[in-house]
Amino acid sequence: MDFQKLAQVIEGQDQVEQLPLSIIRVNPFQPRKVFDDEALQELSDSIQEHGVLQPIVVRKKVSGYEIVVGERRFRASKRANKTHIPAIVRELTDQQMQELAILENLQREDLTPIEEAEAYQSLMHNLHFTQEELAVRLGKSRPHIANHIRLLSLPADVREAITSGKLSMGHGRSLLGLRIPRQMSLMAQRVMKEGLSVRQLEKIVQERTAVSRGTKALKQKNIFVQEREAQLRDALGTNVQIQQSKHKGKIEIEFYSDEDLERILALLQLNDIE
């Protein structure tokens, strides 16, 4: 079942039941870990005054129910000291539950970059999707999927900083260029302390990379080369450096695992070369 048909499963004019909150459990496949407290309180206040205007969707379990769609309404209702909530009961498999949970949050743009990356990785692992297959099913570009999944290679403290909004996804992608987790963490602390922009961070990472390779200084690249680097980074979902001299040049493409290498080779259509 594709996502469009799957989404239609939860739509319709089915009979709405008033279910006790006490017998409802949250979705075990919920990709979102962070719920904005202020927004949740606003929803709770609205429910206190007007009630729950849109039923949640649940599935029946041996004991009680599990939420398919509507965890924010569930949490806000509990905060508003409600005892029951309007709900529509659906029959869904674990796979459908997982796909719907991710689909709902992606459509509402409720996930942080790290939560989104973990959701993609979970779908790939549990449902055996490739990045290309997942991109097609979700209506996302393959580089979008790849760029998010790469964030999971960051140290835990850096991932937490991105989740909390202290660092952006762009900062995270730039930090990956340092390769060494300890250096990533230290540089992330500096970024937060000094309020460095993504561009400023990119320049620092490039300078450090140049020094580590034994070069005397990082030559200023013209705007044409910088634009081509950006295009390649977006297309391949990894760090790309173009080094250019008077008579020749080279393109350096980074990868972080055997799987990542195979992914890049497939994109370059080199995977069939013996």
Distance CA 210, CA 71 (A): 48
Cα–Cα separations (whole angstroms), residue 152 to 125, 172, 176, 221? 14, 10, 10, 30
Question: Scanning the structure block, which residue is given the tokens 């048909």?
Answer: 5
Distance CA 148, CA 140 (A): 12
How buried is residue 91: exposed, middle or buried, by Cβ count under 10 Å (0-12/13-18/19+)? Answer: exposed
Q: What residue type is 126 in one-letter code?
A: N
CA angle 127-11-101, nearest 5°? 35
DSSP letter string, 199-219: HHHHHHHHHHHHHHTT-S-PP
The string of pLDDT tens digits covering residues 146-174 is 899 999 999 999 999 999 899 999 999 99
As a residue count, the chain comes to 274
pTM: 0.59
The string of pLDDT tens digits covering residues 41-98 is 999 999 998 899 889 889 888 889 999 888 889 999 999 999 999 998 988 888 778 7
* pLDDT higher than 60, residue 201: yes
Domains and CATH numbers, the chain: 3-111 (3.90.1530.30), 154-218 (no CATH), 221-274 (no CATH)
Catalytic, 71? Answer yes
Which residue is catalytic, options 17, 38, 66, 71? 71
Distance CA 2, CA 12 (A): 18
Question: How many angstroms separate the first and last alpha carbons of the chain?
Answer: 37
As a three-state string, the secondary structure of 10-33 is CCCCCCCEEEEHHHEECCCCCCCC
Compute φ and ψ for 153, nearest 5 degrees: -80, -10
